[in-house]
Amino acid sequence: RKEVEQDPGPFNVPEGATVAFNCTYSNSASQSFFWYRQDCRKEPKLLMSVYSSGNEDGRFTAQLNRASQYISLLIRDSKLSDSATYLCVVNDWNKIIFGKGTRLHILP
């Protein structure tokens, strides 16, 4: 099993829709979790941390399921500007592991 796995997509979603994608991780001892966003030909940027209790930031909700070893990102009322690649990041104590990303296209 790969350390961090994501569906590469692309997810083609109409504007205004809700979209969700998951990321699985292999190390049950992983400590912390994040979602990053990467626009085309740009650097990755932190979108949000993921907490065990789940957390929201505006239209974005992140969840962690330790029992099944996955994290999720839900985007509500999607905007054209949400089109990007979303990278899942898992921290072990001394290691930072990036997923390969899920591409999201929001369609007008």
| Least spacing, CB of residue 61 vs other proteins, in Å | 19
| Least spacing, CB of residue 67 vs other proteins, in Å | 19
| Least spacing, CB of residue 2 vs other proteins, in Å | 10
Residue number with CB closer to other proteins (31 or 65): 31
Residue number with CB closer to other proteins (7 or 76): 7
| Least spacing, CB of residue 58 vs other proteins, in Å | 19
Residue number with CB closer to other proteins (20 or 46): 46
How far is residue 83's CA from residue 11's CA, in Å, rounded to a whole number?
A: 10
Residues found near other proteins in the complex (CB under 8 A):
8, 31-32, 34, 41-46, 49, 87, 89, 91, 93, 96, 98-101
Residue number with CB closer to other proteins (70 or 98): 98
Residue whose C-alpha is closest to residue 21's, from 101, 107, 106, 80? 101
CA distances from 10 to 13, 84, 105 (A): 9, 10, 7
Q: Which two tokens stand for residue 70?
A: 């996955």
Q: Which two tokens stand for residue 67?
A: 């029992």
Rounded to 5°, angle at Cα 49 from 75 and 30: 120
